[in-house]
Amino acid sequence: NDVIRVCKSTNEVMILSYYRPTLNQSGSGHFSPIGGYNSNKDLVLIMDVARFKYPPHWIPLSLLFDSINTIDIDSNKSRGYILLSKGDGIINKCNNICINGENDDDINDNIDMTAQIDSIINHSCENCR
């Protein structure tokens, strides 16, 4: 199961694309990472990125599946999740600047995003220790 594997990993993070009403929340489609898994209760910790609206919350794994097993009405495509892992992306991008002469502005967004992903992967909240 990807949820269990990712929650045991120090190099991977899972980002969900899910349908909020399935979780009795307002809104529609949403993206957030998971922050943990409780195997005793079969619960997944959603680290909601809209903290002003919903703080981190635990949901049953079966409900998580129901919320990603929906169709986005705008794209007419199914929701799901993406797995992100550490890699040599920043090193390769920096080499491209130095060796291949790429413009700094062209890669700043990639470096910023990689730093944000790294902070998610390397977090150590009390629920995930």
Reduced to 3 states, what is the DSSP secondary structure of residue 13?
strand
Which range marks the domain in which residue 117 is found? 87-129
Same domain, 60 and 119: no
Same domain, 32 and 46: yes
Tokens 């992306």 -> residue:
89
Give this prediction's pTM: 0.64
Per-residue three-class SS string for 69-89: CCEECCCCEECEEEEEECCCH
> DSSP string covering 20-48, please?
GGGGT-SSSEEEEEEEEEETTTTEEEE--
The series of mean pLDDT values per 10 residues for the chain, 129 residues long, is 85 87 85 90 88 85 91 87 74 48 49 53 55
Please give the Cα distance from 129 to 119 (Å, whole number). Answer: 15
Same domain, 92 and 41: no
Same domain, 15 and 77: yes
State the CATH number of the domain containing residue 18.
3.90.70.30
The domain tally of the chain equals: 2
